[in-house]
Amino acid sequence: MTDIDVSVLLVSWNTHDETRDCLNSLPAAIAHELTYEVVAVDNGSRDGSAAMLAGYPRVHLVRNDRNVGFAAAVNQAYRRATGRLILLLNSDVRFHPGALTTMVDFLENRPDAAGVSPLYLNPDGTFQQHYVRLPSFSATLALVTTLRRLPRFRRALHTFQMRGEDFTQPRLLASGSCMLLRRSVLEPHQIFDERFPIYWNDAVLARTLNAAGHDLWMIPDAVVTHSRGASCRLLGPTIRFRHLLGSLVCYLRLTEPGHRLITFRVLVFADYLLRRLVGRPTPIALNDLRAALRGDVGPLPDGDVRDWLVLFSAVGWSTTQPHEALGAAAAAGRRVLFVDPPARHPRWRWTIQPVGPSVWHVTPPTVLPFARRLNLANRLNHRFTAALLRRWLDRHAGARLLLTDDDRSAAVIGRLGEDAVLHAGPNSSLLEPACG
């Protein structure tokens, strides 16, 4: 019989600070009479996470030389765990004092409960609606298409997202980012289905446990702070959406009849074509969409996953010579793409050249002349540049931040798949809003 009460399964991928804060919150979260261990798997992080984890007591570290995915890493940790209770824990969760003890006590007092999750708060202390139900077919369509604007699909999406529901009392519900489970309800060698490397693996687990008659609970007396998406945002929008959509197709293949899966594929593809027809930005390119609709999520991101800061400037590189400022942005943990304005004369060739360890200089094409005098020509040139940059960025992981000091560059907003827009405006310092 094991002497360990709780085995904490923690996956790390380039979330050094969040992982450190998560580990630091554990001792105050669990009573001294309860024993615990942390089995941490680092998925080839490049931010020093593995070295930091190696220095923590009670942490058994597994180092992967590449990113094997969240589901596979959790299974690696599970096979090394010895506790009678298993805690699935994301690195961006911080426990409030006594929270883990409260979760353990709940399972001890409720032998009918198979697992329990806490109440989530945002970093600012407000309630975080992080809970969802198993999705209906209508909810899956609303999640990834503009059908969410229709009343029926909007209601299905809100039901899936549990909007407006009461979380002040214990209720049947669970969240995979922080869930304490009895080992006895789990398979002996695997928790997550590895066909779902990042998304929907927790939905498959919950569905499997529910089918076996096991109840999962949420209790408001155990409280955590959740930063939400610390690792997922590093994927970048294209990789993130392809994994979300591809795994959703695999989920529907497991849970819905074949004709509904065909309907889903047709409607998602039609939604994509309609967006393109009316000039709306799309989350992924056509080839990626086709692969995702087959259930192919693509390769797992690896290597450098720092944020991209894409700078559209009103003046060119040779004029500004912003080497020191760009170096400061790179030192802040970002990769920088500095994009020159359109040239005075037509130019079809474009280049992206590294000019430093973390800085690239982009010379864009100029499809139409007189771009500096004619607003329409300027907008079209910027949109063409944005389309080429989007294709280039789609092959590189990392969140995207768009910054411009030129109001005429507004035509690119929404066309890079950016996570945030930092519009400094004319006559302002180009880098201070993003890096100051």
pLDDT of 411: 80
Taking the CA of residue 325 as centre, how many other CA atoms within 13 Å lie in the half-sphere pointing to its CB? Answer: 16
How many angstroms separate the CA atoms of 170 and 119, rounded?
A: 10
What parts of the chain have a pLDDT lower than 50?
1, 426-436
**Inter-residue contact 185 to 194 (CB < 8 Å):** no
pLDDT of 346: 80
Is 307-435 in CATH node 1.20.1730.10? no
pLDDT of 180: 98
Nearest alpha carbon to residue 179 among 265, 114, 234, 128: 114
Return the SS3 of 309.
strand
pLDDT tens digit sequence for 141-198? 999 999 999 999 999 999 999 999 999 999 999 899 999 999 999 999 999 999 999 9
Beta bridge mates, 280 = none
How many angstroms separate the CA atoms of 260 and 253, rounded?
A: 9
Query: pTM for the full model?
Result: 0.85
Taking the CA of residue 60 as centre, how many other CA atoms within 13 Å lie in the half-sphere pointing to its CB? Answer: 15
pLDDT of 432: 41
CATH no. of 6-131+167-228? 3.90.550.10
pLDDT of 143: 97
Q: Is 324 exposed, middle or buried (0-12, 13-18, 19+ CB in 10 A)?
A: exposed
pLDDT of 343: 78
C-alpha distances in Å from residue 277, one per residue of 267, 274, 291, 307, 378: 15, 5, 21, 30, 21
pLDDT of 428: 43
C-alpha distances in Å from residue 21, one per residue of 10, 24, 27, 151, 310: 13, 5, 11, 42, 30
pLDDT of 431: 42
**How large is the greatest C-alpha to C-alpha distance in the chain, in angstroms?**
79
pLDDT of 100: 98
How many angstroms separate the CA atoms of 6 and 170, rounded?
A: 22
Residue spans per domain, the chain: 6-131+167-228, 236-293, 307-435
Taking the CA of residue 294 as centre, how many other CA atoms within 13 Å lie in the half-sphere pointing to its CB? Answer: 9
The reply to whether 307-435 shares the fold of 6-131+167-228 is: no
Tracing tokens 């010895």 back to the chain, one arrives at 82
pLDDT of 420: 83
For the CA atoms of 410, 413, 415, 416, the dihedral, rounded to the nearest 10 degrees, stands at 110
DSSP summary character for residue 127: B
Strands 6-12 and 36-43: parallel
**Inter-residue contact 313 to 341 (CB < 8 Å):** yes
What tokens appear for 160 in the block? 């899936």
Query: Could you give the residue ranges of the DSSP H alpha helices within 85-199?
Result: 99-109, 137-144, 151-160
